[in-house]
């Protein structure tokens, strides 16, 4: 029987550290439910010492999920470990994840600690965490740039103190696959107690090698991979879950291991992360990019028609990208909608269902087929974003070749109606100028992009914006069959996220 690789998902912790990708508690909960459905083994739900918002989200996720392990990150301090434990203590399967840097550069310049002090701190932290739970993970931050023998010494001490998983991060994305695999082999063979713990790796993508390094490490014996959906994360991101899982799935002879991932949920999960965070996936991204299964060249298309395996190493259905999706239309009733939403992971209250049904009917009037992606938009925008400061009541634009583009807008600002009108050099500019006046924002629009959620001319347009204000960065996303409305929704979502960041400051960062 092939060995199992534990999939440790850190989209909600390391992934959320991507600039602008912050999520509110409702959004985090929704994503956690989807990650459980996807079949990940461990969810790193946050860093409870970072902010009250993080603590609250981790606690709620720990209370709600039943099958998956829930972990919270903690530095090696008593205070961090207390906060992490308090946040996860109601989980069915809690795990404390504590870490300290082990490279000379981090110990000398960041921690200002000697090697011996770092070993003591790691051991004390693991021992303290063990007073709460048996399930303790220890990470050696910047492990790939640490002295090999020192790394073995720290891991040995952490395991003897009770760590059940030891994690080797390539924190700055510096490693090369052969070298990283060699490091894994070295540490596994020079740490006497390594057999008592699961060996884990955690890679970053600064050189575009995160997946290659993770796969090489698994080949060399690592049995836990720390990953994020769509590879989101700080700087160039983390190892992408879908790339590692599909590599293992597609090349079982190269590495005879399995995972618990139900691959058909990969694509819907990827979409959900995009929808919630506003971080779009590049079209040529492996596995989940819009072009990942598109064959343009004539010679490829000819081969594909004769036999899909000529150019296709994976089937789109395997990741949940199916041409035969379940579609609802304007005649579908409340029960059909409720069942579909339940299957997607939403258990809505009567009031919520009423609201979603109303929006669904409005959309079905504009668009013949309503698919899961459309429903996901209605729920993420209508329910998960309920605590919004600004919402759109009304938008009217006039534009064309002979008129000055003008927008009239009515908003709710903290439940109070405000309205106004404004001009711009196009309808979107006019709408944005008016919204900026009504909200009084001083934010700057750094990026604006439009794409289509599904195929066809009646597809919903999906707009993302990137805003900055006093050093805070927020992404906003909106979708609607009308791209000007989608743009206004994206802008308001970005402004709401900025408001959220102002009221939920990060007090501690890694």
Q: Which residues make up the interface to ligand KIV (CB under 6 A)? A: 14, 99, 139, 141, 169, 171, 202, 204, 510
Place of tokens 């990741």: 319
Binding at 20: pick from ligand KIV, Zn ion, none (beta carbon under 5-8 Å per type): none
Q: Contact at 8 Å (CB) between 46 and 16?
A: yes
Q: Say how far residue 340 (Cα) sits from the centre of its chain.
A: 23
The reply to whether 27 sits near Zn ion by the rule CB under 5 A is no
Binding at 15: pick from ligand KIV, Zn ion, none (beta carbon under 5-8 Å per type): none
Cβ proximity to Zn ion, 14 vs 374, nearer residue: 14
Cβ proximity to ligand KIV, 241 vs 409, nearer residue: 241
Shortest distance, CB of residue 47 to ligand KIV, whole angstroms?
8
Cβ proximity to Zn ion, 14 vs 373, nearer residue: 14
Cβ proximity to ligand KIV, 139 vs 259, nearer residue: 139
Shortest distance, CB of residue 224 to ligand KIV, whole angstroms?
12
Q: Which stretch binds Zn ion (CB under 5 A): 7-15, 47-55, 63-71, 172-180?
A: 7-15
Q: Which stretch binds Zn ion (CB under 5 A): 14-22, 41-49, 205-213, 499-507?
A: 14-22
Cβ proximity to Zn ion, 14 vs 462, nearer residue: 14
The closest alpha carbon to 117, from 152, 89, 144, 157, belongs to: 157
Contact with Zn ion (CB under 5 A): which of 8, 9, 14, 483? 14
Binding at 141: pick from Zn ion, ligand KIV, none (beta carbon under 5-8 Å per type): ligand KIV
Shortest distance, CB of residue 206 to ligand KIV, whole angstroms?
11
What span, in angstroms and rounded, lies between the C-alpha atoms of 332 and 165? 49
Shortest distance, CB of residue 219 to ligand KIV, whole angstroms?
21
Cβ proximity to Zn ion, 24 vs 171, nearer residue: 171
Cβ proximity to Zn ion, 34 vs 200, nearer residue: 200
- Residue count, binding to Zn ion (CB under 5 A): 1
What span, in angstroms and rounded, lies between the C-alpha atoms of 317 and 441? 44
Q: Say how far residue 486 (Cα) sits from the centre of its chain.
A: 22
Shortest distance, CB of residue 67 to Zn ion, whole angstroms?
25
3-state secondary structure 351-415: HHHHHHHHHHHHHHHHCCCECHHHHHHHHHHHHHCCCCCEEEEEEEEECCCCCCCEEEEEEEECC
Shortest distance, CB of residue 203 to Zn ion, whole angstroms?
8
Q: Copy the structure tokens of residue 191.
A: 């740490």
Shortest distance, CB of residue 200 to Zn ion, whole angstroms?
12
Please give the full DSSP string across 263-305, using - where no structure is assigned: GGGHHHHHHHHHHHH--PPPTT-TTTSTTTT---SHHHHHHHH
The reply to whether 44 sits near Zn ion by the rule CB under 5 A is no
Binding at 427: pick from Zn ion, ligand KIV, none (beta carbon under 5-8 Å per type): none
What span, in angstroms and rounded, lies between the C-alpha atoms of 256 and 490? 44
Q: Distance of CA 376 to CAs 210, 283, 473, 490, Å? A: 29, 20, 25, 16
Cβ proximity to Zn ion, 14 vs 69, nearer residue: 14
> Cα-Cα-Cα-Cα dihedral of 453, 454, 459, 464, to 10°?
10
Reduce the DSSP state of residue 156 to 3 states and report it: helix
Shortest distance, CB of residue 44 to ligand KIV, whole angstroms?
9
Kindly state the DSSP code that residue 64 receives in the 8-state scheme. Answer: H
- Give contact residues for Zn ion (rule: CB under 5 A): 14
């Amino acid at each position: 029987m092939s060995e199992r690789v534990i999939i440790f998902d850190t989209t909600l912790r390391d992934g959320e550290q991507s600039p602008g990708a912050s999520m509110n508690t409702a959004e985090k909960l929704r994503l956690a439910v989807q990650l459980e459905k996807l079949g990940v083994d461990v969810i790193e739900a946050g860093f409870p010492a970072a902010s009250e918002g993080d603590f609250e989200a981790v606690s709620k996720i720990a209370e709600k999920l039943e099958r998956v392990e829930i972990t919270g990150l903690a530095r090696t301090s008593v205070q961090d470990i207390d906060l992490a434990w308090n946040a996860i203590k109601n989980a069915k399967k809690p795990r404390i994840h504590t870490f300290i840097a082990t490279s000379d550069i981090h110990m000398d310049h960041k921690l200002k600690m000697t090697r011996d002090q770092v070993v003591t701190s790691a051991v004390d932290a693991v021992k303290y965490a063990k007073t709460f739970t048996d399930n303790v993970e220890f990470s050696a931050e910047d492990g790939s740039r640490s002295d090999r023998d020192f790394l073995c010494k720290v891991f040995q001490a952490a395991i003897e103190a009770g760590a059940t998983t030891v994690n080797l991060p390539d924190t700055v994305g510096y490693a090369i696959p052969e070298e990283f695999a060699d490091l894994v082999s070295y540490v596994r063979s020079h740490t006497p107690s390594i057999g008592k713990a699961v060996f884990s790796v955690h890679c970053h993508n600064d050189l575009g090698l995160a997946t290659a390094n993770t796969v090489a490490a698994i080949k060399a014996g690592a049995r836990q991979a720390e990953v994020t959906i769509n590879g989101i994360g700080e700087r160039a991101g983390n190892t992408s879950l879908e790339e590692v899982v599909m590599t293992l799935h597609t090349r079982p002879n190269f590495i005879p291991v399995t995972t618990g991932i139900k691959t058909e949920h990969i694509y819907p999960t990827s979409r959900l992360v995009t929808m919630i965070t506003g971080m779009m996936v590049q079209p040529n991204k492996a596995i989940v990019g819009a072009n990942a299964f598109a064959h343009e060249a004539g010679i490829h298309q000819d081969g594909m028609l004769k036999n899909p395996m000529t150019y296709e190493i994976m089937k789109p259905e395997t990741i949940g990208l199916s041409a035969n999706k379940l579609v609802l239309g304007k005649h579908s009733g409340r029960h059909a909608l409720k069942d579909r939403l339940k299957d997607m992971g939403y258990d809505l209250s009567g009031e919520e269902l009423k609201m979603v049904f109303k929006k669904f009917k409005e959309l079905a009037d504009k668009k013949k087929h309503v698919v899961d992606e459309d429903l996901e938009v209605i729920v993420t925008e209508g329910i998960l974003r309920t605590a919004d400061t600004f919402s759109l009541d009304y938008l009217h634009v006039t534009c064309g070749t002979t008129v000055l583009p003008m927008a009239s807008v009515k908003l709710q600002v903290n439940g109070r109606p405000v309205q106004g009108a404004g001009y711009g050099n196009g309808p979107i500019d006019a709408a944005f100028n008016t919204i900026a006046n009504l909200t009084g924002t001083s934010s700057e629009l750094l990026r604006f992009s439009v794409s289509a959620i599904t195929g066809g001319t009646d597809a919903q347009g999906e707009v993302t914006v990137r805003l900055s204000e006093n050093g805070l960065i927020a992404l906003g996303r909106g979708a609607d069959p009308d791209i000007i409305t989608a743009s206004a929704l994206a802008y308001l979502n970005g402004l709401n996220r900025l408001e959220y960041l102002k009221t939920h400051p990060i007090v501690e960062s890694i």
